[in-house]
Structure 1
Amino acid sequence: MDIQLDQISKTEALIKINLKEADYQPKVEEKIKEYSKKANIKGFRQGKVPKGVIQKMYGKSILVDEINHMVSHKVMDYIKENEIELLGEPLPNQEKVEGLDWDNGSEFDFEYSIGMAPEFEVKVDSKVKVDTFSIKVDDALINETLDNLKKQFGEMTNPEQSAEGDSLYGFIQVEGQEEPAGTTLDLTNVEKKSLKKFLEQKSGDVVEFDVEKTIKDEAARAQFLGENKDLTGKIKFEIKNINRTIPAELNQELFDKVFGKDAVKTEEEFIEKVRTAISENYNRETDGYTQLKIRDKFIEDTKIELPDEFLKRWLKLSNQEITDEQIEQEYPLYTNDLKWSMIKSKIAKANEINVEQEEVVEAAKNMIRQQFGSMGMSEQMEANIDTFAMNYLQAEEGKNYRQLQENVFNDKIISFLKDKVTIKSKEVTAEEYKEKA
């Protein structure tokens, strides 16, 4: 068997294989013998079927199967032995395969296209600058959060007439719809100039309004429309119930509901604990943003030449349902993910960053603890945390383990980069962060 690599470019090559009869015939003969021993053919005793009969009935399919098996294994062995770092998977030249004369030929040629990872450099030092944000937890944000908590834990009432701040439960009247689904209109989502027509309404009243002009926020409008998401222009909304929340008092009862029994005792302690919780939440959010900025910075600054046409062809063959238009549209996202994966691998190799099994198991334990964090884990559950973690990691045929391993690996790379690059953080308000990030 002859095999050679023909380099097309830095990132593409052809693996060519020439297979002679002496390479495959022993395997084919061996397979025919196995068939003759196992075949159950009418007119012959089992195990006594002549090889000539097997050859006539199954010879061609045995030949094709054995050669394809031999060639595919040889290609992968060659890639492994020569330490070729693949992008995608080897793609066989189908025209060559379809042109093979299986009936009369004794020598066969195969050809595989491969995409290869290029050589590239990653600069990791303080000269790499990443801009990010930190969110200022000011008095306005604290007061807004306190108001939300008071409303969240407040008392629900059903007044006869609607007022500003209420929510209206009812039905959108649609012609031909016998059983319309109920929906809720939160008046805080209604534009101010349209709000008047929703005030002093009662159960049974019908309000007609332009849904797009009245609820300009797309997410709020979609939530209100529900199954009637395609409605536009003027609609009729029949009110069935008016809901109003009387805010809770800032007292021990509220403290206990929010943070647990006797966790805080005074209003000052409560506000400080709210401030800490907000800071932790926003720190997690801005940390995620910072990670994305680090990722984008390294993708932008690291020059990596990819075999674009090969990868597009491989993506198309890997998923027959995807269209050429979808590939062109999604290809930049795919290549960014691929480049980031390559960059992480290079950084890990250069700095001996690895993920041990113990780290994955510990990450699984912490994930389970977080899931029960709001209610706290009992001593019995904590005592069985090892079992819970292993059950999770072994589920989904190891998919959970691989996903968590990748998460741990990514966290270790990001942590390493944070210590090496220069991160400049600008303090902004929560509203400014929403606009900018």
Structure 2
Amino acid sequence: MLNPQSLNCFKAGKDWGFLVKTLLKFIALEITLDKHASNQASVKIKLNEADYQPKVDAKLKDYAKKAAIKGFRPGKAPLSMVKNMYGISLLVDEINAILGEALNSYLKEQTFKILGDPLPVEKADDSIDWKTQKDFEFEYKIGFVDNISLSLDSKIEGTNYSIKVDDKLINETLDNLKNQYGKSSNPETSQAGDNIYGELKSEDGALTQTLALPTSKLSKKLAEKFIGISSGAVIEFDSKSVKKDEWSDAFGLEKEPKGNFTFTVKNINRTETAEMNQEFFDKIFGPEAVKTEEEFINKVKETLQGSYDRESKVFTEEELKKVLTENTKIDLPVEFLKEWLLRANEGKVTSEDVENEFPIYANQLTWSLISNHIAKENSVQAEHEEVIEKTKEMIREQFASSGLGMQMEASMDMFVDNYLKGNEGQNYMNMLTSVQNDKVMSLIKEKIKLKENNSVLMNSRNF
């Protein structure tokens, strides 16, 4: 995957403080901007000797006081020798520092929004002579968006999707849980619903595979061949007696084989349905979380509904992002961004990778710009306390079925602190962005015209 240093717009660096502001006042750099497209431009910076030499000389003198050069006591080497040895290196470092500070400060003053990072323009036929050259000119390519026009009102229509958990879904889930947590045994003779462990072979020898065959997933006619058998039995059948879906669902084969087959039974596994008792309740939700069958069923329903509420929320918001993206015209500097992505991920991605993944990246970047615009226009901001609470919710969800309960809550502050400090602080920034996105999405739902779409989900789900 592309790694464009997240999707954030170019950040022009930290506040360099009084020293940098003072320095830039005295460095009268010549900076020019050439907008050669609605979303791309070049920035040229010219330096003359007065812009950089005083700082280079000061650094040379300071370095000479500390330099340990063979044949001289520390700090006693002639300045000319130090300059000859380290002058160009210090010159390059100083010019790079001046360029970085000047470019950052200049771009911060612009009204348009910079995307990616400025890209130095490399001129193969115009190499720099660091020994003799006094005046320098550097050029950078930039990509930007000039303005974003979006009005959040009832003219924009979206859909709020929700999923209703019905009785059929609850009953199917209960059956799955009772089967999943039932007691296993290895009877001598098989019966309907058993799992038969053995070796499948084709007559021509092209296929040999050991597998566990769930008889519940076989057609009634084929399943009869696997009922009333014992370990060591050899069942013969041909491909015509196997339905197309059975090869994948029951036998676990991606391709549908042809011909005659044998299945040699090695073991039989039977799972007895678990009883609805305290032991069963504790396995699902933790010790003493529920105590009666009614409480258990309600907890299952609550858990299912919570899970589908989260999924429907994600789906709703992804659809709303598409709606907002379609209603907002943002002209991205496509060629610039492709070049920047390739340079920023040099060695990790190819031009083909960038081309293939760019549409996804462009959609994500467009939404990021829209979200940040809405946040700025409506003074939406994530607060530290909100980050803490969202992190707690995330941790509670992760440990929901662990049964830790009070022990986890007692150590919650430690869990939160450890998580937010992880990944060199990036976890905190990600959570901060997540909180802001939640607040932006809530604002969008308030402002636009939102119709409800209630669906009934009929598929069961394992816990």
Instruction: Identify the TM-score tier after normalising by the shorter chain.
Output: 0.7 to 0.9
Match of 1:278 in 2: 304
Match of 2:374 in 1: 347
Q: Unaligned regions of 5+ residues in structure 2, if any?
A: 1-28, 203-207
Q: Do the aligned partners of residues 197 and 410 (structure 1) sit closer, same or farther apart at CA in structure 2, a change above 3 Å counting?
A: farther
Q: Taking structure 1 as the reference length, what is the TM-score of the superposition?
A: 0.84
Q: Which AA in structure 2 matches 1:304? A: I
CA distance in structure 1 between the aligned counterparts of 2:51 and 2:303, rounded to whole angstroms: 70
Report the more deviating stretch, 307-316 or 410-419.
410-419
- What is the root-mean-square deviation in Å for CA atoms of aligned residues? 3.5
CA distance in structure 2 between the aligned counterparts of 1:72 and 1:60, rounded to whole angstroms: 18
Q: Do the aligned partners of residues 160 and 422 (structure 1) sit closer, same or farther apart at CA in structure 2, a change above 3 Å counting?
A: farther
1:39-98 Cα shifts (integer Å, max 9, x gaps)? 222222221111211222222222222212221221112112335521000100122696
Q: Which AA in structure 1 matches 2:311? A: E
Report the more deviating stretch, 307-316 or 329-338.
329-338
CA distance in structure 2 between the aligned counterparts of 1:124 and 1:430, rounded to whole angstroms: 32
Indicate if the aligned counterparts of 1:124 and 1:421 stay in contact, CA closer than 8 A: yes
Q: Do the aligned partners of residues 433 and 79 (structure 1) sit closer, same or farther apart at CA in structure 2, a change above 3 Å counting?
A: farther
What's the CA shift for 1:431?
Answer: 4.6
1:365 aligns with 2:395: no
Q: Which AA in structure 2 matches 1:420? A: K
Q: Which AA in structure 2 matches 1:87? A: L
Which among 349, 352, 355 is matched to residue 322 of structure 1?
349
Q: Do the aligned partners of residues 329 and 239 (structure 1) sit closer, same or farther apart at CA in structure 2, a change above 3 Å counting?
A: farther
Report the more deviating stretch, 86-95 or 375-384.
375-384
What's the CA shift for 1:310?
Answer: 0.1
What's the CA shift for 1:119?
Answer: 0.9
Q: Do the aligned partners of residues 236 and 308 (structure 1) sit closer, same or farther apart at CA in structure 2, a change above 3 Å counting?
A: farther
CA distance in structure 1 between the aligned counterparts of 2:224 and 2:125, rounded to whole angstroms: 74
Q: Which AA in structure 1 matches 2:354? A: I
Match of 1:61 in 2: 89
Indicate if the aligned counterparts of 1:369 and 1:377 stay in contact, CA closer than 8 A: no
Q: Which AA in structure 2 matches 1:55? A: K
SS for the counterpart of 2:271 is strand
Q: Do the aligned partners of residues 329 and 40 (structure 1) sit closer, same or farther apart at CA in structure 2, a change above 3 Å counting?
A: same
CA distance in structure 1 between the aligned counterparts of 2:113 and 2:303, rounded to whole angstroms: 46
What's the CA shift for 1:215?
Answer: 5.1
CA distance in structure 2 between the aligned counterparts of 1:428 and 1:357, rounded to whole angstroms: 36
Quote the sequence identity (%): 44
Indicate if the aligned counterparts of 1:133 and 1:426 stay in contact, CA closer than 8 A: yes
1:311 aligns with 2:337: yes
1:287 aligns with 2:313: yes
Q: Which AA in structure 1 matches 2:424? A: E
Which among 43, 49, 63 is matched to residue 77 of structure 2?
49
CA distance in structure 2 between the aligned counterparts of 1:418 and 1:371, rounded to whole angstroms: 28
Match of 2:423 in 1: 396
Q: Taking structure 2 as the reference length, what is the TM-score of the superposition?
A: 0.79
Q: Which AA in structure 2 matches 1:314? A: W
Match of 1:407 in 2: 434
What's the CA shift for 1:329?
Answer: 1.0
Q: Do the aligned partners of residues 308 and 200 (structure 1) sit closer, same or farther apart at CA in structure 2, a change above 3 Å counting?
A: farther
The equivalences for 1:4-403 within 5 A come to 4-95=32-123, 99-131=127-159, 133-169=161-197, 184-188=212-216, 202-204=230-232, 213=244, 233=257, 239-250=265-276, 254-255=280-281, 257-259=283-285, 261=288, 263-267=290-294, 270-320=296-346, 321-377=348-404, 379=406, 381-403=408-430
1:149-198 Cα shifts (integer Å, max 9, x gaps)? 22123221222344443334457889xxxxx9986444455577865665
Higher-helix-fraction structure: 1
CA distance in structure 2 between the aligned counterparts of 1:57 and 1:312, rounded to whole angstroms: 40
1:264-312 Cα shifts (integer Å, max 9, x gaps)? 5355x54444333332322222122111111121122211100000000
CA distance in structure 2 between the aligned counterparts of 1:75 and 1:95, rounded to whole angstroms: 19
What's the CA shift for 1:101?
Answer: 2.1
Q: Do the aligned partners of residues 272 and 36 (structure 1) sit closer, same or farther apart at CA in structure 2, a change above 3 Å counting?
A: closer
| Alignment coverage as a number of residue pairs | 421
